[in-house]
Amino acid sequence: MAITRPDRFLLAGVMGDPVMHSRSPKLHNYWLAKYGLAGAYVPLAITAGYLRAALRALPALGFSGCNLTIPHKEAALGLVDKVDPLARRIGAVNCVVVAADGSLEGQNHDAFGYIESVREAQPSWRADRGPIIVIGAGGGARAVLVSLIDGGAREIRLVNRTPARAKSLARELGGPIIALNWNEREAALGGAAMLINATNQGMVGEPALDLALDSLPVTALVSDIIYIPRETALLAAARKRGNPTVNGLGMLLHQARPAFHAWFGIMPEVTPELRATIEATT
């Protein structure tokens, strides 16, 4: 945990390129105000070539740490002094914590954020309830897959446009992952208890996910890690046919909680007021 002092203006931020679209500043500044802490969380537009210098400047500038977003999550693994085991498994860092001695620890809270968001929306949800379909094999998918494995999932059907990438990821993470070809994606929905889109398909500016839901049981939970828009075409189609749905906003909100705790010593809450505040910006 970062060390905070009462005589210091607390600082944290998010490094990315681009970064001005991030909702993290509004989120963390809400908590700083709510808990009466003097400080600020700022967007830091850092290009890939300056990431090392930017991270190494954090202790001297008085930062407690920072979040990392695209394109820095994987590169940071080799730039911090210590990587926690979960971040190492996921293969990405989304949170850097400055220790009292100025050293940097890389963490990843995306897996925590994902599971907490699903449990918040569906309190009775269990990972071992039945087969889970995960679409995508990128960074977001890695965090989701680790969270499902650790949550006790018994069967995960992983589908990606590039089958070799899905197979490689299945071998690397192990557990109950079965890699399937892209042309098997719709047949894979049969008997599923949950469907997760862990790609950027459906995000603002991207085409919708190419997936017909005809074979998906109407009892299956449909989840999308995208939060802009709050309801993707996938979630809209699922809702219309009667499936329960979970959007990606909860993952954003909940992954921020352990980061705030690591920097400032308080584990914040996700409240209806906070959710409404962030929803008003998406």
> Cis ω on the peptide bond leading into residue 71 (within 30° of 0)?
yes
Contacts of residue 213, defined as CB under 8 A and 6 or more positions apart, other chains included, come to: 189, 195, 222, 237, 238, 241, 243
List of residues 6+ apart from 50 with CB closer than 8 A: none
pLDDT score at 139: 86
Q: Write down the pTM of the prediction.
A: 0.93
| Identified catalytic residue from 73, 82, 167, 240 | 73
For every one of its 282 residues, what pLDDT tens digit does the chain have, with 9 covering 90 and above?
A: 655 556 789 999 999 999 998 999 999 999 999 999 999 999 999 999 999 999 999 999 999 999 999 899 999 999 999 999 999 999 999 999 999 999 999 999 999 999 999 999 999 999 999 999 999 998 899 999 999 999 999 999 999 999 999 999 999 999 999 999 999 999 999 999 999 999 999 998 899 999 999 999 999 999 999 998 999 999 999 999 999 999 999 999 999 999 999 999 999 999 999 999 999 987
**Domains along the chain?**
10-109+254-279 (3.40.50.10860), 123-243 (3.40.50.720)
Q: What is the pLDDT of residue 281?
A: 86
Does the annotation mark 73 as catalytic?
Answer: yes
Q: What is residue 2's predicted lDDT score, i.e. its pLDDT? A: 59
Cα-based distances in Å from 61 to 12, 65, 169, 217: 10, 10, 38, 53
The span from the first CA to the last CA of the chain, in angstroms, equals: 31
